[in-house]
Structure 1
Amino acid sequence: MTVRVVLPGLLRDLADGAAELPVEVGDGAALSDVLDRAFEPWPVLGRRVRDERGEIRRHVNVFVDGEDAKRLEGVATPVGGSATVHVVNAVSGG
């Protein structure tokens, strides 16, 4: 099954300009597996999204079918075979 990983404009340059990265995984694969496969050709992109422990960085949000992965099971969140994963840079300011 194909999962779509959608990148924000700020990260597309790190994936040769791609807005979406299709990833073939089995149904119920962990989000960490999806991200590993999606970012395999672009390790710099992977390091911008995940820290050295493999967790989602503090200033990055990842949504699986509209649900915030950090509020679910983090990188252990199961991803359905036809899911859409959105990577979003967190916006902060004051």
Structure 2
Amino acid sequence: MSVSVRIPTILRTYTGGAAEVTAEPGDEATLADLLEALETSYPGIRGRVLDDGGALRRFVNVYVGDEDVRFSEGLATPTPPGSSVSVIPAVAGG
């Protein structure tokens, strides 16, 4: 079974305009594994989510289910088959 990933508008150029894509990172996969699987299908997308050091970019929020990965296990957060992942750019303003 695959993992569903919701893609923000700003990153849809990497997915051919798709708002939601699926990936099959494996049964024991983590968020890092999922991003690697996405990179295989959608080259360049991982570099928009991770910084040069391999950490989540400061202004990109990632949720597995309803949990913000920054407050759980980060890139080691499990992404089991059937889960839903959302990539959400932070919004700032006044």
TM-score, normalised to structure 1, is 0.89
The alignment status of 1:11 with 2:23, answered yes or no, reads no
2:44 counterpart of 1:54: no
Name which of structure 1's ranges 62-71 and 46-55 shifts more when overlaid on structure 2.
Answer: 46-55
Q: CA-atom RMSD, angstroms?
A: 1.4
Equivalent residue, structure 2, for 1:38: 38
**Equivalent residue, structure 1, for 2:85:** 85
Runs of at least 4 residues of structure 1 off by over 4 A?
none
Query: 1:62, CA displacement in angstroms?
Result: 0.4
TM-score (norm 2): 0.89
What secondary structure is seen at the aligned counterpart in 1 of 2:36?
helix
Query: How many residues of Structure 1 are paired with residues of Structure 2 in the alignment?
Result: 94
Gaps of 5+ in 2: none
CA–CA separation in structure 2 for the residues paired with 1:55 and 1:15: 22
User: What residue number does 1:64 align with?
Assistant: 64
Aligned identity (percent) is: 44
Q: Quick one: distance in 1 between partners of 2:12 and 2:18?
A: 5
Q: Tell whether the 8 Å contact from 2:38 to 2:45 is kept in structure 1 after alignment.
A: no
Distance 1:48 1:26 in 2: 22
Gaps of 5+ in 1: none
Moved more, 14-23 or 59-68: 14-23
| Residues 10 and 80 (structure 1), Cα distance of their counterparts in 2 relative to 1, 3 Å cut | same
Tell me: CA distance 1:21–1:39, structure 2 relative to 1, closer, same or farther (3 Å): farther
Q: Could you tell me whether the CA contact under 8 Å between 2:49 and 2:56 is conserved in 1?
A: yes
State the Cα distance separating 1:49 from its structure 2 match.
0.8
